[in-house]
């Protein structure tokens, strides 16, 4: 197994956003890697190790045009001397989305824009047929999600060492599902009672949530399967207009987080932090742990040599609408 991260990531109390009834803590997975952090780093260690063990020189993945996963795959594949390829599909245009695709190109990722899911499927099949190792959307298959089973053990060790109290609930974004599924399955194997709240930020919500449940099942032995499923709950009320669309609650939460020194994005972490703040305001849980899944590494070095937004190909620009 490869590791691209520095673990354990820190846990911190967000004092200014806590109340006497509920303490808000953060797990700093934004700092998993100094060059590019966030939650994809934990998944890619195992996935790229598997690709290498199979003697693959190329990997192919798929994601929306602003995908953090595509960029992370490109960065860590390149570090191993592998070529990354990515099939891209559409998502709402924001400044962040355009920066992601420029950073992809600067890492030398081969991008294949797809105008429909059908075309994406065909492109993917053709890259796999040419010998590329397949990494699913978000890196969320059983192998990738095992990185978050490990993360649950890491958290349990931090609780054991009294770095933080046992969280009553852990709040994390639910996109492709590997993060919350791995955490729920992993926590069921520890002595912790911590529940997992997956804040659904991708759609259709029922498909996304079903995929997370299926992953929990794959990750859990019979003995802990029920416990793992029961401790995982979902909240789709922060999705707003859908994946990648900004929401007022998400933007308010991002402003609150900025006071505590955390930078959030519109697609995943703003909406998720809004759910965490609502749990604090409700005051029913003593300890709430927000799992910070967004890289906080400076993007500037990754944009070195990138084409400017105006010179992106028409096919790419059409994906960001």
Ligand X SMILES: *Cc1c(COP(=O)(O)O)cnc(C)c1O
38 Cβ neighbours under 8 A, 6+ residues apart: 29, 30, 32, 68, 72, 293, 294, 295
Nearer to ligand X, 141 or 256 (CB): 141
If you search the block for the tokens 């952090």, which residue do you land on? 37
Q: Enumerate residues 113-152 that contact ligand X by CB under 6 A.
A: 138, 140
The distance of closest approach from Cβ of residue 173 to ligand X in the complex, given in angstroms and rounded to an integer, is 4
Q: According to the binding rule CB under 6 A, does residue 173 interact with ligand X?
A: yes
Q: Rounded to an integer, what distance in angstroms lies between the CA atom of residue 131 and that of residue 179?
A: 28
Verify binding: residue 293, ligand X, rule CB under 6 A: yes
DSSP for 229-246, written as a single string: HHTEEEE-TT-TTSTT--
- Span of 19-27, 175-183, 221-229, 279-287 interacting with ligand X by CB under 6 A: 175-183
CA 52 to chain centre: 23
**Contact mark string toward ligand X, 62..101, x via CB under 6 A:** ------xx--------------------------------
- The answer to whether the CB of 237 falls within 8 A of the CB of 221 is no
Find the residue with minimal CB distance to ligand X. 175
Q: Is 96 helix (H, G, I), strand (E, B) or coil?
A: helix
**Interior CA angle at 18 toward 14 and 21, to 5°?**
145
| Contact call for residues 38 and 293 (beta carbons, < 8 A) | yes
Judged by CB under 6 A, the stretch of 87-95, 189-197, 250-258, 265-273 that binds ligand X is: 265-273
x-or-dash pattern for ligand X, window 13-52, by CB under 6 A?
-------------------------xx-------------
Omega within 30 of 0 (cis) for the link into 8? yes
186 binds ligand X (CB under 6 A): no
Binding segment for ligand X (CB under 6 A), chosen from 47-55, 115-123, 167-175, 311-319, is: 167-175
Parallel, antiparallel, or unpaired: how do β-strands 110-113 and 83-89 relate? parallel
- Residue number with CB closer to ligand X (30 or 313): 30
Contacts to ligand X by CB under 6 A = 38-39, 68-69, 138, 140, 173-179, 265, 268-269, 293-294
């Amino acid at each position: 197994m490869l590791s691209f991260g520095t673990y354990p990531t820190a846990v911190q109390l967000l004092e200014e956003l806590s109340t006497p009834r509920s303490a808000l803590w953060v797990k700093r997975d934004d700092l998993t890697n100094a060059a590019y952090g966030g939650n994809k780093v934990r998944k890619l260690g195992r996935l790229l190790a598997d690709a290498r063990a199979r003697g693959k020189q190329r990997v192919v993945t798929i994601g929306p045009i602003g995908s953090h996963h595509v960029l992370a795959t490109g960065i860590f594949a390149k570090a191993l001397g592998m070529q990354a390829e990515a099939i891209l599909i559409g998502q709402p245009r924001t400044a962040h989305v355009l920066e992601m695709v420029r950073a992809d190109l600067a890492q030398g990722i081969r991008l294949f824009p797809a105008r429909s899911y059908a075309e994406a499927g065909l492109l993917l099949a053709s890259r796999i047929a040419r010998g590329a190792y397949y990494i699913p959307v978000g890196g969320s298959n059983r192998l990738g999600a095992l990185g978050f089973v490990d993360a649950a053990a890491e958290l349990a060790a931090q609780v054991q060492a009294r770095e933080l109290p046992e969280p009553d609930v852990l709040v994390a974004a639910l996109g492709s599902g590997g993060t919350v599924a791995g955490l729920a399955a992993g926590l069921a194997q520890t002595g912790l009672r911590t529940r997992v709240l997956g804040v659904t930020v991708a759609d259709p919500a029922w498909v996304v949530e079903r995929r997370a449940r299926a992953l929990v099942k794959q990750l859990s032995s019979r003995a802990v399967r029920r416990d793992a499923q029961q401790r995982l709950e979902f909240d789709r009320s922060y999705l707003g207009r859908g994946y990648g669309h900004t929401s007022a609650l998400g933007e308010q939460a991002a402003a609150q987080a900025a006071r505590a020194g955390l930078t959030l994005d519109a697609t995943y972490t703003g909406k998720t932090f809004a759910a965490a703040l609502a749990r604090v305001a409700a005051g029913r849980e003593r300890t709430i742990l927000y799992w910070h899944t967004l890289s906080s590494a400076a993007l500037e070095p990754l944009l070195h040599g990138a084409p400017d937004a105006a010179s992106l190909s028409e096919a790419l620009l059409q994906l960001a609408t």
